[in-house]
Structure 1
């Protein structure tokens, strides 16, 4: 007869499994305190798994217009063939790929909202046009005198 395991036993097993799976990444990031997407990828590793691996972590969801985000993803993938070798073929059917990316975004956004309900102080939903205030507030840091930086805008002339 199979033994019945408690929810705590299952949670401990899951946490241990996640720690074991994340071990190679954890070793490579020990000397860092901030990540921006890579190597932890916003959609590559579940946010709850990241929280287990990095219990003191905080997350920032950059709130963007969905269609502008899809266009940005398309531009990024097509301009990075060594990183995304299948992008050129995928984006030939733009509507299909764009719909797939929209579904990914909505799924991840929903997961981030769920995470916010569970860990309200550990995720910031930020609109970049709001400047320093939300970010500094989130980290209890003073607002710098410099204007909020805007970079990595897609160059349409490339």
Structure 2
């Protein structure tokens, strides 16, 4: 089954919201970092991809209809070439708000077990996250100036590389209408799913830390 939708936006740009929305629209399942956490056997594949080794995209995306978030957003060019009929969604947000969100969520979560949306805990997805996000994407420079520059450069590259008729530049606050129009599907009657806010993510991290401390006592 080929991918129908490719998310090119970096993590913390509304990618969990996009995943949830796409799945409600019938593009399910949608691959996301949480898929790797829940299926740790995928980590070896993504580590190989991060190292530039040849990989078979059909292997990791078997059964999926869409993708977004890290790790797949780092390979949007390869995926767009492999699935030429797929549409591409570039999720955006204010660059400095994005930086603060990453610092409060992804970077701390890379250092230990990750708390899933349902509150359960899972082990880290492996060295590939530090390799792909920390080293390959940001060069292990987590200063605001550098990360915002990388963020902006990535977004501009997506806009240059993907033909406009194939690309939707999207912010979660826009809701259902532009996404449904782009994908050619009806607008649902239910509210647009705004999920996985920084506050929610931080709360889960804090709860994980408390549980870890209690377990070590």
TM-score of the aligned structures, taking structure 2 as reference length: 0.51
Structure having the higher Rg: 1
- 1:105: Cα distance to partner? 0.6
**3-state SS of paired residue (1:72):** helix
- 1:148: Cα distance to partner? 0.6
- 1:96: Cα distance to partner? 5.5
**3-state SS of paired residue (1:124):** strand
**3-state SS of paired residue (1:61):** strand
**Per-residue deviation, residues 14-54 of structure 1 (Å, max 9, x unmatched):** xxxxxx9232x3312122111122441x2x32x33221122
**3-state SS of paired residue (2:77):** helix
Equivalent of 1:73 in 102, 107, 118: 102
5+ long unaligned stretches in structure 2 = 1-52, 113-123, 134-140, 207-217
Which of structures 1 and 2 has the larger relative contact order (alpha carbons within 8 angstroms, sep 6+)? 2
Equivalent of 2:157 in 95, 99, 111: 111
Equivalent of 2:58 in 26, 50, 68: 26
Which structure dedicates a bigger proportion of its chain to strand? 2
Distance 2:177 2:110 in 1: 33
Aligned to 1:134: 178
Residues 61 and 125 of structure 1 are in contact (CA less than 8 Å); yes or no, is this contact kept in structure 2?
yes
Equivalent of 2:187 in 115, 133, 143: 143
Aligned to 1:17: none
TM-score of the aligned structures, taking structure 1 as reference length: 0.69
Residues 22 and 53 of structure 1 are in contact (CA less than 8 Å); yes or no, is this contact kept in structure 2?
no
**Per-residue deviation, residues 37-94 of structure 1 (Å, max 9, x unmatched):** 2441x2x32x33221122222211112011110011111211331356699xxxxxxx
Instruction: Say how many residue pairs are matched.
Output: 126
Distance 1:134 1:65 in 2: 19
